[in-house]
């Protein structure tokens, strides 16, 4: 990790790491729980997955508004963390009653709903708080978000290994232990934040950050721009946030197949045998996360190296590169399954290759986008604008569930998408090649005007 950053960054790093451990642990086994224990078909489970993840990323816009208007970041994060821990525990109760649908189903809906509410309060506010640790124009902000993003992905790496290892055993009764591990992870993250927020999440003068707006004013802690009216430049910069957010809908709709159709693919049509041991299907979701941790420093170094030579691409160009890498990943696996019948299992290296390419695409898009939102947002709307960024993820996750429902299943009528029959996995994966390729080209062509509207901040 880079030196010279405030200690508050590392408090937020570990808090977010445990929150992502909780979320991704639950996500790693959610579709498997529904299809293997509750006996939902893939289309139904995918629809529920898309609705849940979509709402989980929709609610941060409300959480950001609540923080900016009344609660502040601190209280929102604490309350959100506690609510999410409760939701994960309700999921544990649901899985404990898996063989009794009259109990398991209502508890499933309740648990997912509670997690959605908690995520809304937590998600946008912790990312906004990272930006608040730094003064406007501080050059360390980009590297700070890269460090923060590594924390996200350490949690995302460990989560499928732990929750999947405990829950995805072949015994439906064991899913409860995966959900319980997610609940415990969220409790740990909330405690880490509570114990360290007053000592380390402070500004250069030692005043606490993230207080409710009224308390900020009383403490004399009002950031530059909090009480000034919006200017034309502000409106143009906010428009850039909306434009970039629109494009990332298509990125995450393709990328988030990891928790839906790609998990089904790993479970049903990937050869997972290694020296007589079968790798749990949920574990493949850790490939992306560990690759993020390994390659994030490489990409941070690359952007810095290019910047010193005045060759650093603009944010829209970097993000368009992310789309192209995403599409290449799906092109690779489409080639791997071409001509393969539904009962033949392919090498796991096709799936690993896809996740590796998707990782490179994510590093070109996600931390870059988070940093851009922090730079472009008017200070008094910082959390709300971060909520707008996650609103795009909300729409994307819903779209991901819809697209996953077109996964072709043996013995069922081929699904039809926009008038085309998806007769096999090759055609299914080509859909994602097309979506990511078209979005990447359009964004690349619009890069210059978008950069102009950003007024040098991206």
What is the Cα gyration radius of the chain? 22
Of the listed ranges 9-13, 223-227, 404-408, 418-422, the one predicted with least confidence: 223-227
Cβ contact 107:90 at 8 Å: yes
Please state, in angstroms and rounded to a whole number, the distance separating the CA atoms of residues 22 and 285: 14
Please state, in angstroms and rounded to a whole number, the distance separating the CA atoms of residues 326 and 431: 12
SS (H, E, C) 321-390: HHHHHHHHHHHHHHHHHCCCCCCCCEEHHHHHHHHHHHHHHHHHHHHHHHHHHHHHCCHHHHHHHHHHHH
Q: What are phi and psi of 346, to 5 degrees?
A: -100, 165
**Residue 222 banded pLDDT, cuts 50, 70, 90:** low
* Residue 183 pLDDT exceeds 90: yes
What is the per-residue pLDDT for 293? 87
Which single residue is written with the structure tokens 């005045």? 310
**Could you give the percent of the chain with pLDDT greater than 70?**
96
* Residue 109 pLDDT exceeds 90: yes
**Residue 120 banded pLDDT, cuts 50, 70, 90:** very high
Pairing of strands 270-271, 346-347: parallel
Please state, in angstroms and rounded to a whole number, the distance separating the CA atoms of residues 279 and 168: 10
The residue-averaged pLDDT of 266-285 equals: 90
* Residue 296 pLDDT exceeds 60: yes
What is the per-residue pLDDT for 390? 86
The residue-averaged pLDDT of 3-16 equals: 90
The residue-averaged pLDDT of 288-294 equals: 89
What is the per-residue pLDDT for 221? 57
The residue-averaged pLDDT of 328-333 equals: 97
How far are the Cα atoms of 52, 71, 121, 310, 454 from residue 79, in angstroms, in the given order? 20, 10, 7, 44, 34
Write out pLDDT tens, residues 64-74.
889 888 899 99
**Residue 50 banded pLDDT, cuts 50, 70, 90:** confident
What is the per-residue pLDDT for 434? 95
Q: What are phi and psi of 129, to 5 degrees?
A: -65, -30
The residue-averaged pLDDT of 256-282 equals: 90
The total of other beta-carbon atoms located within 10 Å of residue 68's CB is 26
Write out pLDDT tens, residues 343-361.
789 999 999 999 999 999 9
* Residue 83 pLDDT exceeds 50: yes
Domain boundaries, the chain: 7-210+232-453
3-state secondary structure of 275: coil
Mean pLDDT of the chain: 89
* Residue 226 pLDDT exceeds 80: no
What is the per-residue pLDDT for 2? 47
Of the listed ranges 84-93, 125-134, 263-272, 406-415, the one predicted with least confidence: 406-415
43 vs 438, which has greater pLDDT?
438
Report which listed range, 226-235, 324-333, 394-403, is most confident: 324-333
The residue-averaged pLDDT of 240-265 equals: 93
Cβ contact 296:372 at 8 Å: no
* Residue 223 pLDDT exceeds 80: no
Of the listed ranges 26-35, 236-245, 279-288, the one predicted with least confidence: 279-288
CATH among 3.40.630.30, 1.20.1250.20, 3.40.50.300, 3.90.1300.10 for 7-210+232-453: 1.20.1250.20
The secondary structure element, H or E, covering residue 455 is none
DSSP secondary structure string, 66-131?
HIIIIIHHHHHHHHHHHHHHHHHHHHHHHHHTTT-HHHHHHHHHHHHHHHHHHHHHHHHHHHHHHH
* Residue 1 pLDDT exceeds 60: no
Write out pLDDT tens, residues 128-171.
888 889 887 776 777 788 788 888 989 988 998 999 999 989 89
């Amino acid at each position: 990790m880079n030196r010279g950053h405030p200690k508050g960054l590392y408090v937020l790093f570990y808090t977010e790491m445990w929150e992502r451990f909780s979320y991704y642990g639950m996500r790693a086994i959610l579709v498997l729980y529904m299809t293997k224990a509750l006996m939902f078909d893939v289309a139904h489970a995918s629809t529920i997955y898309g609705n849940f993840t979509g709402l989980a990323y929709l609610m941060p816009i409300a959480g950001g508004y609540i923080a900016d208007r009344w609660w502040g970041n601190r209280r929102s994060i604490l309350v959100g963390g506690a609510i999410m821990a409760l939701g994960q525990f309700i999921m544990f109760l649901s899985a404990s009653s898996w063989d009794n649908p009259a109990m398991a189903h209502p508890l499933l809906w309740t648990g997912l709903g509670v997690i959605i509410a908690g995520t809304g309060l937590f998600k946008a506010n912790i990312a906004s708080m990272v930006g608040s640790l730094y003064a406007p124009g501080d050059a360390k902000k980009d590297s700070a978000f890269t460090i923060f993003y590594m924390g996200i992905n350490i949690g995302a790496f460990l989560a499928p290994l732990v929750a999947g290892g405990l829950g995805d055993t072949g015994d439906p009764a064991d899913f409860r232990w995966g959900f319980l591990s997610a609940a415990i992870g969220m409790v740990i993250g909330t405690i880490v934040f509570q114990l360290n927020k007053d000592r380390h999440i402070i500004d250069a003068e030692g005043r606490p950050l993230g207080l409710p707006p009224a308390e900020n004013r009383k403490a004399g802690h009002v950031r530059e721009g909090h009480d000034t009216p919006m200017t034309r430049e502000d409106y143009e910069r906010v428009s850039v946030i909306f434009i970039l957010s629109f494009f990332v809908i298509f990125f995450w709709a393709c990328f988030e197949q990891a928790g839906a159709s790609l998990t089904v693919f790993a479970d049903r049509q990937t050869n997972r045998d290694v020296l007589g041991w079968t790798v749990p299907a949920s574990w493949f979701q850790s490939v992306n996360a560990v690759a993020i941790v390994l390659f994030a420093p490489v990409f941070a170094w690359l952007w810095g190296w290019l910047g010193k030579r005045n060759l650093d691409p603009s944010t829209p160009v970097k993000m368009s590169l992310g789309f192209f890498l995403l599409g290449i990943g799906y092109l690779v696996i489409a080639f791997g399954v071409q001509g393969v019948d539904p009962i033949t299992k392919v090498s796991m290296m096709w799936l690993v290759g896809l996740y590796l390419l998707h990782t490179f695409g994510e590093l070109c898009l996600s931390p870059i986008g988070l940093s851009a939102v922090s730079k472009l947002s008017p200070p008094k709307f910082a959390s709300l604008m971060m909520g707008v960024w996650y609103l795009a993820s909300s729409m994307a996750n819903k779209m991901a569930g819809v697209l996953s429902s077109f996964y072709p299943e043996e013995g069922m009528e081929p699904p039809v998408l926009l008038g085309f029959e998806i007769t096999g996995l090759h055609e299914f994966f080509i859909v994602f090649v097309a979506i990511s390729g078209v979005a990447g080209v359009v964004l690349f062509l619009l890069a210059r005007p978008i950069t102009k509207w950003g007024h040098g901040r991206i």
